[in-house]
A and B are shown apart, each in its own frame.
Chain A
Amino acid sequence: MTDARNEWVGFSPRRVWMIAVNTLTESVRQKVYLIMILFALVLISSASFFSQFGFGETGGQEALEQLKFIKDFCLGAISVFGMLIAIVGTAQLIPNELENRTIYTILSKPVRRFEFLLGKYAGSALLVLVSVVMMSVMFGAALKFKGDNYLKVTQQSVGQAQDAGTMEEAVRQMQKIRAAVYDPDLVKALLLTFVKLALLAAITLLVSTFSTSMVFNVAVALLIFFAGHLVGPAKEKWAESGAARFLLTLIPDLSVFNVADDVILGNAIPWLYVAKVVVYGAVYLVCVIAAAHFVFADREI
């Protein structure tokens, strides 16, 4: 006969994964997020139409300006919608489990509280990942569609070129358009956006472990999100005061993840910078999850 005294229940990544998949399924079947993503996709795909009205279909310098506009608009949209999904999708996870008492059925099984918490987090991080990937694919398609159009127009102007100078100019133009469309730094910007959103989701989870009010959780998460974009500059300003600096380190510096402006201007983003920022985000993430665990493990349900 089995005797529980001689058995052992260790940390199980499988159970974490099970809970994560369950969380993602719940979120996906709750139409809210689908509608949000759908809305974002429509917006992103329409970026190329906005620009059409704004500038007109030429192959000249304007083409590059329009591509910049699309990038700016789409990266912004991904960041904003990603933020909404990360915050709203995470803020109610734990409170809902407590309110519906579904948590009883899980924690009364041989499941560790940490597995539960991590599973919930992984579920919302997966939702953010899926959203960002979908929006990025749509963004890539919109950019390529527009870029190909400009290339075609420019190609025609090469054929119609009267002299070698104009022709050379048009060929250079085509190279520039290609470089703008197939810019590998866009991937870096999207990667960092995801890391930022994953961190934001973890912070929202931490907030939701000690408050069951959805409104409060969303408000605090938003506050931290905006504060996170201001700490970088603030740190420089109050560099002398030790206490202020310490308080500012508690809030993650989210501005380091925003490389969109540089990407749009065509400034190179070194991989070393990307790696540093990813490590910064990961360390922060681990600390936030650990804090959430300490709050959650100490809580009666």
Chain B
Amino acid sequence: MMDAIRTENLTKKYNLGWGRGRLLALDGLNLRVCEGEVYGLLGPNGSGKSTTLKLILDLVWPTSGAAWIFDVPCNKVVSRLHVGFLPENPYFYKYLTGAETLEFYGRLCGLSGAALRKRVDELLEMVGLARARDRRLAGYSKGMLQRIGLAQALVHDPKLLLLDEPTAGVDPIGSKDIRDLILRLKGMGKTVLLSSHLLAQVQDVCDRIGVLNLGKMILEGEVSQLVSDQQRLSFTVQGLPESGRAAVESAVAAAGGVVVSVEHPQTTLETLFLEALRKDKRGAGEHD
């Protein structure tokens, strides 16, 4: 299957201005996001999550390495044909109303006429802004801007969504709505790459995650595997007679153990995340 996103040795050093050197924001990232999966890019502040997304969208240019979207080099305009992007802390044209904003972005993506109007209504409904459609964005709250940002990213029904902290600044109910929306998009066969540092939330929606720290990928894997606890064992047994069960339990007890549950116990991403960061011995703010 074709990768929705692929990066090879993607490296970004920001010029900090004359005499102040360059800041290594992303260091040799090799990322693969398969079609149809929800991938979570995690990492502390300043670890290079937004930089990765901007590199993929050709908003900033790599110092070395390259990236592809559906096998199209991302420095080509055509690579963005099937991509929707929600920037972090999005901010839009504040003199436009919600509906006008979506109409504008829809037109940019080639929609027009009745199809456009229908799509705008659909999206406003989908992100829960139908009642605010005729209000100017200057009066929108942060959570509402986040929602209109999501709608804007979805306007042309893209196959791939890049969401930079989609739930930042949104209340718990709103953030649940957004996560449900992401799962719905996944159900429709869309690929999602999202960045976040809200681990508990990511755990619910992501198939795979990668943890960035100081521009380097320090942990990657399937969420279900990562959170399964290797320290503890659990047996799922079928057809064990009562006497047998007593024997097992007494054997466990005799060995000093306690039977707690019958499923694979899980750790949280939070624990894993902190563990991985602790193991990463590099110092902050590497310059060259």
Across the interface, which residues of A come within 8 angstroms of B77, CB to CB? 9, 110-112
Chain B, Cβ-Cβ closest to A116: B108
Q: With an 8 A cutoff between CB atoms, is B187 at the interface?
A: no
Contact A22 B104 (CB under 8 A): yes
CB-contact partner of A18 in B59, B69, B80, B108, under 8 A: B108
Chain A, Cβ-Cβ closest to B85: A108
Q: A7-B78, A104-B87, A110-B77 are in contact. Are A18 and B107 (CB under 8 A)?
A: yes
Q: With an 8 A cutoff between CB atoms, is A102 at the interface?
A: yes
Q: With an 8 A cutoff between CB atoms, is A5 at the interface?
A: yes
Q: With an 8 A cutoff between CB atoms, is A236 at the interface?
A: no
CB-contact partner of A104 in B59, B71, B95, under 8 A: B59
- A-contact bits for B61-92, CB 8 A (1 contact / 0 none): 10000000111100001111111010101111
> Closest CB-CB distance, B74 to chain A, in whole Å?
11
Across the interface, which residues of B come within 8 angstroms of A104, CB to CB? 54, 57, 59, 85, 87, 90
Q: With an 8 A cutoff between CB atoms, is A301 at the interface?
A: yes
Contact A105 B90 (CB under 8 A): yes
Across the interface, which residues of B come within 8 angstroms of A109, CB to CB? 80, 85, 105, 108-109, 156
CB-contact partner of A105 in B89, B105, B156, under 8 A: B105
Please report the C-alpha to C-alpha distance between residue A30 and residue B136 in the assembled complex, in whole angstroms: 12
Tally of contact residues, B, Cβ under 8 A = 36
Across the interface, which residues of B come within 8 angstroms of A152, CB to CB? none
Q: Which of A97-144 contact B (CB under 8 A)?
A: 100-102, 104-112
Q: With an 8 A cutoff between CB atoms, is A8 at the interface?
A: yes
CB-contact partner of A5 in B57, B72, B92, under 8 A: B72
Contact A300 B59 (CB under 8 A): yes
Contact A301 B109 (CB under 8 A): no
Chain A, Cβ-Cβ closest to B112: A14
Q: Which of A41-89 contact B (CB under 8 A)?
A: none
Q: Which of A1-36 contact B (CB under 8 A)?
A: 2-5, 7-9, 14-15, 18-19, 22, 25-26, 29-30
B residues at A contact (CB < 8 Å): 54, 57-61, 69-72, 77-83, 85, 87, 89-93, 95-96, 100, 104-105, 107-109, 149, 152, 156, 162
A residues at B contact (CB < 8 Å): 2-5, 7-9, 14-15, 18-19, 22, 25-26, 29-30, 100-102, 104-112, 300-301
Listed by A's residue number, 30 A-B pairs whose Cβ atoms lie within 8 Å are A2-B81, A3-B70, A4-B71, A4-B72, A4-B79, A4-B81, A4-B82, A5-B71, A7-B81, A8-B78, A14-B107, A18-B108, A22-B93, A22-B96, A25-B95, A26-B96, A101-B91, A104-B54, A104-B57, A105-B105, A105-B149, A105-B152, A107-B57, A107-B59, A109-B80, A109-B85, A111-B77, A112-B77, A300-B59, A301-B59
